[in-house]
Chains A and B, each alone.
Chain A
Amino acid sequence: NAGVTQTPKFQVLKTGQSMTLQCAQDMNHEYMSWYRQDPGMGLRLIHYSVGAGITDQGEVPNGYNVSRSTTEDFPLRLLSAAPSQTSVYFCASSPDRVRVQYFGPGTRLTVT
């Protein structure tokens, strides 16, 4: 099993550009989430999904969209990048709502 994979590993965007961060898992987990991690702050939940076709907002959803058309994939879209979105983004999956989350390796995004 590859576990949770994320692409790209690094990305630099200009303000106003859009892009999609990819996340895939091969563990057949129903629950998937996106977090961002900023210096001096804990990981913050952006969006999450409890199954294919079902998504919901986390703590900091503004500026991001998600969709979940398959169990395996959970892409995160930045609609119009802003410098405030410079961060490290982690995707995670979990087999159910109470168990541990497995994180992908992260995407380091810089918006200039």
Chain B
Amino acid sequence: DQQVKQNSPSLSVQEGRISILNCDYTNSMFDYFLWYKKYPAEGPTFLISISSIKDKNEDGRFTVFLNKSAKHLSLHIVPSQPGDSAVYFCAASPNDMRFGAGTRLTVKP
């Protein structure tokens, strides 16, 4: 019963190019969406969020886009850097946060 889905387990991009990570959700009650980044042997760390009343939020190299009609959001990282290599989790809430399974991003020098 996964309400938040990340269908791509992995993504590899070249340094300097754009990374696009995708996330789909099923629960129309979700009103906040967040992206977390996780390095090995560490807990997830908050990256960026978006409210359901917006369709875009930008913070430096990171931009999150929300398409409510499609129940889809994406995280764009541009330009990608080797230090961005990590697992990225999409999360959604109205109450307790629900997480996707994560996408492992590898940025190659």
* Chains A and B belong together in one complex: no
Contact surface of A with B, Cβ cutoff 8 Å: none
